[in-house]
Structure 1
């Protein structure tokens, strides 16, 4: 039984979906990031960067427990553990890994900034809103072009690259994007959304997460608390 320390965010949902797709048994431990759970001593021992998700697998390599943070690393670990969603051939593996890195280095950080400046920032800074909205549209265009040539991001197989990217695109409206402008991406998105494991994965902790409204939660997520040395 894998212990999952998570919350209903795109990075959390990556791991929830992967666990469901792999058919692995897991137990979810909610880490309410709006309440500051991510700064607890117990969680920091697992995730020293105070970010969700993190996992503890009691049946890790050589039968010894292993704890992991960073969603991309967790996806790679689960793919290795189960032999699923990462091609075995060298070329296919690296094609999937490059799109996973594209998500980790581009899609997640840039769309996260688009969310922040469009939705959460206390003041609307036109330059920042335009910069990250335009970058979001550029990234959607890159994905749409790739999907005009291939069924999935890494080619003809559904991989961890698709699993990693999909949750970040679920909030396309908040990113200032019109999905109809990216028909290949839209088809891919809708196809993934209909997968039973994906439907189960995005529901994990979804009912526990509430809209960010109170000042305390905003301070914890975006204020001085975030930058303290814990």
Structure 2
């Protein structure tokens, strides 16, 4: 059994250990075990990770993060940055995942798409830490939305972090460095310097930024190698 399979089984065991909100009917309609995590999709050797809040219905059905309306915008933007052209071809949009990693703050779908609270995020944080710090080999994370960005607050100076986020005019143009930490199943500690670049969430409900998101994503991707 690979370390990643062990990690997924540990997440499932945690999910089974005590109840927390899961959108069970969506998992049942997808004929999937609600306690089985949908942890990530993509290439663990990639330099870039897109980090979202949590799963939606489309993500549960497909068994991978960021594949619904918002995720499609992300994949289309990444394809455009790679090939300097646009596409709606599903196979081509799936293929870009060879160059990136997709994951979330919690590997489950909350009921009614309401954000998970602090307690749930705290329960699953150690597992996401392991994914990002130990298993993923990259060091540049693009966060999608406020909840995703603020997940990284514990890994840097709190005052510096809050000052960065308070700069509303420039926070989606700048990046902040954090030191990710994780502990594996044997108690060994790991650290990794990682650059966090926030973007607004590309949801159609986010009226302020939805139309601006494609250009903002291109500007972010122009700053890094992938």
The structure richer in strand per residue is 2
The structure with the largest helix share of the pair is 1
Larger Rg: 1
Q: TM-score, normalised by structure 1?
A: 0.31
